[in-house]
């Protein structure tokens, strides 16, 4: 079905020299349309934006990358269709080959056209409105073909624009693009170019086996503690774009996963630098003045960047989101608790590429040594038993509506 569509892709590549997937590679079926964004350092740095449609990836090279600001209209140059297996490609394309350079899996997830619109017809008409549900990109978007592109030879210039919704950020100044971490391997571009670090966790699940659309890949990851001397050194970053949860039908099992309670609160990133504490929301907004008691408790910590959640607890110790909203509206937040579940930076070292188990061990030690005994700052324990049992126990304890956080070791 897609062989003719992929003829241009095949003609541009020598598969004896490049590790890019051939057009004959297979992937698992899905009942949702998938998308990927690949950061591509070729002749010029750009971001390859790919939407699954009719058995291939419709593809655009977004020269400056996607923007969360609805005012920014980003040039998106339409390129040849790519095979779906390309959605798992992260690595290097040899110099001298088409697109030679480093490729990073920068974002991926699912997309759907606006209700009532046929996506192929919308592309033919030059305006595709759609919704993204990814790890970095969310909400409504539109691809608009530039008006002067009237002939077939010039049908390749489009504009990628963010719709105004809860996921939009006016004047974000491309802060999201500053996060140089693969969402599939955790590697920076330099590590990918050097062939260092673990490979990308598959998303398209290439192969002939039938895999459920909500399947989660079980990737073996070591739990070796971070080696501070070998890690990149530098000051604590102002903010790291957080990894977001993805809904699945059932929790994964196996020894490669740990399970955490998903508290009903506000996701907050806690930064400590020279005794100065900053609390930022998942969108990077500074909320430090809303939680003065947590700021005071964190001031005793060494320089670090910690991912966590601010929560209000009821008399039974159960998270209560309504109570959290009341506390914020009345500015009575001294009883709120910051539940810490990940350590992103410590001892002037970037830990984002380290195994989760090692980061959590470092976080637990840091809070035990420098914390406030759990009054305002608390470490989030995890469970290594079967995922379904953990979820059922959490529900019986009143900890949410069949929700939890599952993360690879």
- Catalytic residue list: 262
Q: What is the DSSP letter of 44?
A: S
Alpha helices in 74-180, H assignment, sequence order? 119-125
**Phi, psi (degrees; rounded to nearest 5) at 345:** -155, 135
Q: Which residues contact 335 (CB under 8 A, 6 or more apart)?
A: 293, 312, 313, 327
- Write the DSSP assignment of 343-387 as a string of letters: EEEETTEE-TTS-HHHHHHHHHHHHHHHS-TTSSEEE---B-S-H
Contact 154, 171 (CB under 8 A): no
Alpha helices in 25-180, H assignment, sequence order? 119-125
Angle at 315 between CA 310 and CA 318, to 5 degrees: 50
Say how far apart CA 344 and CA 359 lie, in whole Å: 7
Provide the token pair at 367: 């809070």
Contact 337, 313 (CB under 8 A): yes
Contact 133, 139 (CB under 8 A): no
Cα of 9 vs its chain's centroid, Å:
28
Angle at 245 between CA 241 and CA 248, to 5 degrees: 155
Provide the token pair at 103: 């490729």
Nearest alpha-carbon partner for 264 in 374, 344, 339? 339
Contact 123, 26 (CB under 8 A): no
Say how far apart CA 298 and CA 310 lie, in whole Å: 13
Angle at 176 between CA 38 and CA 70, to 5 degrees: 100
């Amino acid at each position: 079905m897609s062989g003719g569509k992929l003829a241009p892709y095949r003609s541009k590549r020598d598969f004896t020299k490049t590790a890019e997937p051939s057009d004959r590679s297979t992937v698992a079926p899905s009942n949702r349309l998938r998308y990927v964004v690949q950061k591509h350092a070729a002749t010029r740095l750009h971001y390859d934006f790919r939407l699954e449609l009719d058995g291939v990836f419709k593809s655009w090279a977004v020269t400056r990358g996607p923007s969360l600001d609805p005012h920014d209209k980003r040039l998106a140059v339409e390129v040849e269709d790519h095979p779906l297996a390309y959605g798992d490609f992260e690595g290097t394309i040899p110099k001298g080959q088409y697109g030679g350079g480093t490729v990073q899996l920068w974002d991926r997830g699912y997309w759907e056209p606006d209700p009532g619109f046929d996506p192929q017809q919308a592309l033919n008409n030059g305006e595709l409105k759609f919704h993204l549900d990814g790890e970095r990109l969310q909400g409504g978007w539109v691809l608009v073909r530039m008006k002067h592109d009237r002939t077939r030879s010039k049908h390749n210039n489009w504009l990628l624009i963010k719709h105004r919704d809860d996921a939009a950020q006016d004047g974000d100044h491309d802060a999201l693009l500053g996060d140089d971490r693969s969402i599939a391997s955790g590697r920076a571009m330099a590590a990918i170019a050097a062939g260092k670090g673990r490979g990308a966790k598959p998303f398209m699940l290439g192969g002939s086996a039938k895999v459920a659309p909500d399947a989660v890949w079980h990737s073996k990851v070591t739990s070796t503690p971070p080696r501070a001397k070998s890690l990149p050194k530098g000051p604590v970053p102002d903010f790291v774009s957080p990894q977001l949860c993805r809904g699945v039908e059932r929790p994964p099992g196996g020894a490669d996963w740990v399970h955490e309670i998903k508290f009903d609160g506000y996701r907050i990133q806690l930064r400590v630098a020279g005794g100065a504490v900053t609390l930022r929301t998942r969108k990077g907004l500074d909320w430090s003045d809303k939680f003065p008691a947590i700021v005071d408790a964190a001031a005793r910590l060494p320089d670090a960047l910690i991912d966590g959640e601010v929560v209000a607890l009821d008399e039974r110790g159960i998270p209560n989101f309504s109570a959290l909203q009341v506390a914020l509206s009345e500015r009575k937040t001294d009883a709120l608790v910051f539940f810490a579940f990940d350590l992103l930076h410590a001892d002037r070292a970037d830990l984002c590429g380290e195994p989760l188990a090692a980061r959590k061990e470092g976080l637990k030690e840091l809070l035990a040594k420098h914390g406030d005994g759990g009054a305002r700052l608390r470490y989030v324990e995890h469970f290594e038993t079967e995922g379904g049992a953990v979820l059922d126990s959490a529900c019986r304890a009143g900890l949410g509506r069949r929700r939890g956080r599952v993360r690879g070791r």
